[in-house]
Every structure is written in C-alpha cells, then in structure tokens.
Structure 1
Amino acid sequence: MDPCPCASHDSLAIVEKADILRDQRADSRAEKVRWLVQSVVETHSELLKLPHFRPGKAINQLLGNLVSVCSEIHDRDVVDKVLSHTSVQAVLPSLRQICAQAESCLELHWAEHILATEGTPDEVLARLKTFPYYENYEELTRLELCAILSATKTTPRRVAFIGSGPLPLTSLCLLQSLKQDALVTSLSAPADSKKDQEPVILNVDYDSAAIAASLTLSLALGETGRGMEFICAEATSPTKDLAEFDVVYLAALVGISQTEKEGIMLQVVDRMRPGALLVVRSAWGLRTCLYPEVDLATEGLRKRLECCIVVHPYGQVVNSVIVARVRG
C-alpha cells in the first residue's frame, strides 16, 4: 500500500504557517483601521485650523482627500472598527457640520462665478457644466429617478426639493430628464394621465441668499430653467402645503443627525398626501463620516412611511438614496 501523501509533511509546520498568515492578515487589517482613523481625525484637525470654509487650495485638497478615503470600499469589520473608534466618534458631529458648511460655500461660490459674466442661456449652461461635480449630480439624479420609477407607476410631474441650496443641480438635472421623457416613458405606465403636464420643481431653502442665487441662475438659463420655482422657507414650515407634489426630496444637508432628520421628516410627511413619495439622501460605510446615515426603520417613521427601495452606490456618487411611500 502506498504511504499516505501527508506522511511526508510536517503537520506542525503547516499549522504554524497558517497561524502566521492569519496573524499577518490581522495585523494588516489593524494597520488599515489605524490609518483610516488617523486620516479622518487629522483631516478634521486641519480643517479646524482654516480661517473659513470657502473654496481654496487648502480646503479643496483636504476635502478632496477625505472624500476619496471615505469613498473606498472596505469590509464591514474594518468600517465598524473605524466608525466606533473613540477618536472618530468624538469628531464626527463637527466633521459633518464642516462638510455641510463647505458644500454650501462651494455652491454659492460657483453660483456667483457662473453669474459673474453675462451671456446667453447656452453660455450660462456651459459655465454651469464646468462645476467640478456636475457629472456626479447627473449620475446621482439618474440613479434617483430610476429608484423613483421603480416605486410608482405614475410619472412624477410636480416635485419639491427641500434644501435645494444656491446651486440646485439636482433640480435642474431632474427637470431636464422629466422634460426629455425618454427614460421616464420607458419605465412608467403607458396610460399616464399626467404625461402631458409640464414638469415643475419647487426649490425650498431657508437661506434667502441661496434662493436669490438659484432663482437668478434659473432665469439666466432660459428654457433650461423653465419649470423651476422657488420659495424661501424652513423645511418644517407649515406655510407650504406639500399635498400637490408627487415626490418630495429631502437633501442630505437637511438635519445633521438621525434625531433631527426624523423630526423634520415627520413634519414634512404630515403635509404630503398618502401615496406620494419621499426621497431621502443618506450614506453608508465610511461615507457616513461626510453625511449621517438615515434609518427609516424607527417606530415613528414606520407608522408614516413605507420604505420602497434603498440604493447604495459604490462609485463616485457619495450619497445613498432611500425612496419611501407616505402611508394612508
């Protein structure tokens, strides 16, 4: 009988090698966690040293690197260890607030830049498309529109965007998609009573400067901006009834914590009609260092909203998308 092929092997050596490889992998993961924690905490420290959060070489580099780091895909164990680290937990509220302020400053800067020179609507649109993240907004809007159309048989024609900001790129991209109707026609029901209605996007923001800038930009865009409407109001303001809208968006920067967002959502939903859709921007993984994750499974929200779809992008788009239906 031939000897067992294992007889010539040193079993103890094999076990030792396996232990070494396991330890090396553990060391590598621990080093990755340490590096990610250090990157987040040190970036926050450097951001705090800046005199302002308006666009500039220093803040552009810091936030650009932070977004790149937080957009990387890691396994759940690494992400959990980074996000639960005491140093990261200590800076998260402040870091998200800084990111929100910097994003608002960036949008206002570009709105002013685009409008600084007079030109035809086509020239204004060309300048708008030079915004560094314009393609990201196009991708995010396509993703959101597909999510919306997967949750309803009715083509949305009236949309409210709460927290539209000074550069309402989502509203403009969504408006053009609804006007062109190519994707919408292919995915919506054939017999759509609203198909012939001109789409309208109502932009809502509490900042009067943001509304003034976005209104001026919309008018300067001519036909591209036709269908854009504006109102300066708080997200929770009861002065604007939302029952006429098929879809209501809640921007990522509206509310900086789960508790705050949940309170806002409940007040918004109270002004919506049953069956209408609420689109909420969220985040996942390390991207929650930039934007808070939104949980619709809380007791209060489950009573008012039926979650239809959640989409977590893996590419350059940072925000996740949640589409929920208002319960009757």
Structure 2
Amino acid sequence: MASLQNQSNFETKIPAEILIARVIQIHDRISKLESLRPSKQVNTLFSHLVKLCTLPSNIDIKAIPQDVQAVRENLILLCGHAEGLLELEFATFISKISRPLNNLDLFPYYNNYVELARLEYRILSDNGVVQPKKVAFVGSGPMPLTSFVMATHHMKSTHFDNYDIDEVANDVARRIVASDNEFEKRMKFVTSDIMEVKEKLMEYDCIFLAALVGMRKDRKLKIIEHVRKHMKAGGYLLVRSANGARAFLYPEVDEVDLPGFEVLSVFHPTNEVINSVVLVRKPFFDN
C-alpha cells in the first residue's frame, strides 16, 4: 500500500516541461498588459501563476535552459512590480478608514503573511530568538504585514525599524500605524537604501530581508554581504528565498550564497506559503 501511495504522489507532480510551458504562456500574457495595477485581468493572471508555481513538481530551477532563465528573471521583476502596486493600493485604502490595523485582513494575501510570520517566529524561537529587543525589516513596503503581525502576535515588546527605499511607501505605512499610539511607539519607518546603512545595523538582534530586496541575484548577494559586514556579531539574519517552481516568483538564496554566516535553519514550504525561510547567524568571531 505504501509503495502505491508513493507512486500516486509521484504521478500527481506536474512534469517540468509542462510547468515551464505554462509559465512561459502566462509570462507572455503578463508582458503584453498595458498596466500591472490591480484589475480583474491582472489579478487573475497572477493568481493562476501563483497556483501553478505552488503545485508539486520536481523542477530543478538551476537546470532550466538559459532562455527560460531569462523569462524567469523578467517574471520576478514583473511580479515584484505588480506586488508593490497591489500593496500600495490596499495600504492607501486601509489608511483612510477608521482603525486600519483592525482591517488588515482586507488584503487578499493576508492569511499567507499570518502563516509565514507564525512559521518564521517558530524558527526564530527554536533558535533562541524569542523576544528580541530591536528588529529591522528590510524592504517593508507600504503595507509591512510581517512587522504588524509579528508585533501584534509574537514579538509583543520588540521595537521594529522598517526600511524601504520608497518614501511614498513609508508615508502610507506611517499613516496606518498612526491610528494606534502604543503601536506607533514601537514602529519606525526609515527611507534609505540599505546599502547606505552601516553603523545602525549593529543595533539589531535580528534583521529580516524581504524576498524582493535585490530582485536580481547579484544585487541580493551584495546586500547580504553588506548586512553581514555591518551587523553585530551573534546577530541573526532571516532571509526569504524561494525553492523549486516558486523561484519563478521570487529570487532564490542557497546556503552557498551565505559565506561568513552560520546556517541555522532552511525551510521550504509545501503549502500555500510561497517563500522559503533561511535563518543564519553572524559568528561571534568573524574571520
């Protein structure tokens, strides 16, 4: 019976060639859109793409042909742009209603963020990070749901510094937080390229790196190395990555991409959560 079940599980996995063909088809349709702002057509295409990329598959993203790699790199940029526009629209809307922090669940992917935050906090707590004094979230955007969920449900005494390069995004996020005086005291928004932040990185017990910070691999690795150089010894870095077909949506970060760190945990989801989670620590004695 077990062997039959395993065979059945194997047969339900989408073959790589079919997956790639469907991804390319969706990419072609997205590329022809006049705008990536939220609309029925945009939402439908990206929903189909997400569902496709979370199906069980055996695809080896490093083994796909170069032309497909080019499609993947462009698709990550398109996904990032569309995600930013979606967040900005919902964050702007929520900021204008009363008690916006009580209405975060209006965001269509809110439950995914709740589940991801729960997963990340469990990984952190399993590795000794329970109630850090100060945390940085790099790439927070106009609707920093991870910071909101973590501060509300998990890290209830932690101070959060949210870094984003876009002042418009930070301004909207500030308006959401301004509705709660106690919450506002624990939540700061900093407009800066993280590559220009140095001494300040020493202050944080844990630094989160959003999946879309450094959408091209070489840029992301430079950012990770910059953070490693300037963060405090013994500090934790939580990097969001992607695995398998999910790497058509977000950049991947492997253990080999993290020299100079102690790798503590690598988790690849198999449910509706998109991002993989890689937790590393800067050694106390940095060579």
TM norm. shorter chain > 0.5: yes
- Which of 242, 264, 276 is 2:223 aligned to? 264
Q: CA deviation at 1:126?
A: 3.4
How much identity, in percent, do the aligned residues show?
A: 35
For residues 63-95 of structure 1, the C-alpha deviation after alignment (integer angstroms, 9 at most, x for no partner) is 000000000112x3xx12896145422311110
- Residues 174, 30 of structure 1: alpha-carbon distance in 2 compared, 3 angstrom cutoff: closer
Letter in structure 1 aligned against 2:235: A
Q: CA deviation at 1:238?
A: 3.0
Letter in structure 1 aligned against 2:267: V
Letter in structure 2 aligned against 1:150: D
For residues 12-56 of structure 1, the C-alpha deviation after alignment (integer angstroms, 9 at most, x for no partner) is xxxxxxxxxxxxx9xx89993333122111111111111111111
Match of 2:239 in 1: 280
Alignment RMSD (CA, Å): 2.2
Gap runs ≥5 in structure 1? 1-24, 181-197
> How many Å separate the matches in 1 of 2:279 and 2:140?
18
Q: Within the alignment, does 1:236 sit opposite 2:195 as a pair?
A: yes
Q: Within the alignment, does 1:34 sit opposite 2:17 as a pair?
A: yes
Match of 1:98 in 2: 78
Letter in structure 1 aligned against 2:48: N
> How many Å separate the matches in 2 of 1:201 and 1:229?
6
For residues 286-328 of structure 1, the C-alpha deviation after alignment (integer angstroms, 9 at most, x for no partner) is 0000011102324xx32x2111001111111100001000123
- Residues 129, 223 of structure 1: alpha-carbon distance in 2 compared, 3 angstrom cutoff: farther
Q: Within the alignment, does 1:45 sit opposite 2:25 as a pair?
A: no
> How many Å separate the matches in 1 of 2:140 and 2:154?
18
Letter in structure 1 aligned against 2:282: V
Q: CA deviation at 1:258?
A: 2.6
Q: CA deviation at 1:204?
A: 0.3
Letter in structure 1 aligned against 2:108: P
Are the counterparts in 1 of residues 132 and 206 from structure 2 also a CA contact under 8 Å?
yes
Are the counterparts in 2 of residues 283 and 294 from structure 1 also a CA contact under 8 Å?
yes
Q: Within the alignment, does 1:246 sit opposite 2:205 as a pair?
A: yes
> How many Å separate the matches in 2 of 1:224 and 1:170?
14
Are the counterparts in 2 of residues 33 and 82 from structure 1 also a CA contact under 8 Å?
no
Match of 1:156 in 2: 132
Match of 1:125 in 2: 101
- Residues 168, 30 of structure 1: alpha-carbon distance in 2 compared, 3 angstrom cutoff: closer
- Which of 134, 141, 145 is 2:110 aligned to? 134
SS at match of 2:197: coil
> How many Å separate the matches in 2 of 1:128 and 1:153?
26
- Residues 221, 102 of structure 1: alpha-carbon distance in 2 compared, 3 angstrom cutoff: farther
Gap runs ≥5 in structure 2? 1-7
- Residues 167, 297 of structure 1: alpha-carbon distance in 2 compared, 3 angstrom cutoff: same
Match of 1:112 in 2: 92
> How many Å separate the matches in 2 of 1:312 and 1:110?
28
- What TM-score, normalized to structure 2? 0.89
Are the counterparts in 1 of residues 124 and 130 from structure 2 also a CA contact under 8 Å?
no
- Which of 269, 279, 282 is 1:323 aligned to? 279
- Residues 60, 295 of structure 1: alpha-carbon distance in 2 compared, 3 angstrom cutoff: same
Are the counterparts in 2 of residues 82 and 88 from structure 1 also a CA contact under 8 Å?
no
Q: Within the alignment, does 1:64 sit opposite 2:47 as a pair?
A: yes
- Residues 176, 127 of structure 1: alpha-carbon distance in 2 compared, 3 angstrom cutoff: closer
- Residues 46, 309 of structure 1: alpha-carbon distance in 2 compared, 3 angstrom cutoff: same
Query: How many equivalent residue pairs?
Result: 275
> How many Å separate the matches in 1 of 2:175 and 2:266?
34
- Residues 264, 318 of structure 1: alpha-carbon distance in 2 compared, 3 angstrom cutoff: same
- Which of 150, 164, 171 is 2:147 aligned to? 171
Letter in structure 2 aligned against 1:55: P
> Which stretches of structure 1, 4 residues or longer, exceed 6 Å deviation after superposition?
28-31
Letter in structure 2 aligned against 1:88: V
- Which of 299, 302, 305 is 2:261 aligned to? 305
Letter in structure 1 aligned against 2:23: V
Letter in structure 2 aligned against 1:326: K
